[in-house]
Structure 1
């Protein structure tokens, strides 16, 4: 990839059925193998209580920074394709899932489009996103504040580090 064509983006990954850690690792490896996308940083792995719909198993969550030549919607399409490969079924909002990949930020892009809102509209309300994102981008500006500042106000009750290594995704 030519350096001039690269854009930085951040992704949130999670899941709570099947083997979500293995699914997230496979997703990150799949992204990193591509010519148009490179994983540049990965957070620690977190075990987090369910959010939104609370009568389900705990989740595993992580965030990743990528460098990509794909435009935002194409990056979203790639993430959705990887979810489908990992047998993701969209049955219930905030329900159980094998794998979820959200495009959180894409450079400085701010957009409200039907398919993709950037930055992710609910990321600043979610400790399970902000905690791993702060591992890799605490100074990233989102809606006028840094990720670290948003995290200081977030509910992080019950969130725990499941793997301290930033290379957990390479172990599979």
Structure 2
């Protein structure tokens, strides 16, 4: 199972999540096996960030199957973000869509551009809640990895 985190805090956030899921299915020849509930969360912003960055996110986790390798998956997710209008911006800045690989078949993967499991899982309670909702058996495994 592969877990992808989806988040949006600009524009029609719910529609952006739907559009991203359709693109994931099409571009990655992926099957969406399960979806968490959509949860609204506060933006995580650094100290001194502009007030305009403090826009609530809609977040969701999906479980997918795809033949893509971790690096292929990352490349395709970045292409989807770009196709949907995400602009290169500062870390933590608002975004139309944010797609993160959270978990990939239980492997520990690390290269200069990608770490799996996602290193911020333990710092974002909404991710743990969403994983626990749809894959409670994976949640303990996710937290047992050295993130």
- The normalised TM-score by structure 2 is 0.86
Give the whole-Å Cα distance in 1 for the aligned partners of 2:2 and 2:32.
10
Q: Over aligned residue pairs, what C-alpha RMSD do you find?
A: 1.7
Q: 1:107 aligns with which of 105, 108, 121?
A: 105
Find the counterpart in structure 2 of residue 47 from structure 1: 40
Give the whole-Å Cα distance in 2 for the aligned partners of 1:35 and 1:81.
11
Higher helix share: 2
User: Tell me, what secondary structure is at the counterpart of 1:135?
Assistant: helix
User: Tell me, what secondary structure is at the counterpart of 1:77?
Assistant: helix
User: Tell me, what secondary structure is at the counterpart of 1:96?
Assistant: coil
User: Tell me, what secondary structure is at the counterpart of 1:139?
Assistant: helix
CA contact 2:102–2:117 (8 Å) conserved in 1: yes
Answer with 128-137 or 39-48: which moved more.
Answer: 128-137
Gaps of 5+ in 1: 1-7, 146-172
User: Tell me, what secondary structure is at the counterpart of 1:27?
Assistant: helix
Q: 1:25 aligns with which of 18, 24, 49?
A: 18
CA contact 2:78–2:99 (8 Å) conserved in 1: yes
Give the whole-Å Cα distance in 1 for the aligned partners of 2:117 and 2:74.
13
1:116 aligns with 2:109: no
CA contact 2:28–2:68 (8 Å) conserved in 1: no
Give the whole-Å Cα distance in 2 for the aligned partners of 1:76 and 1:40.
19
Find the counterpart in structure 2 of residue 93 from structure 1: 91
- The normalised TM-score by structure 1 is 0.74
Gaps of 5+ in 2: none
1:15 aligns with 2:13: no
1:134-145 counterparts in 2 under 5 A? 134-140=132-138, 141-144=141-144
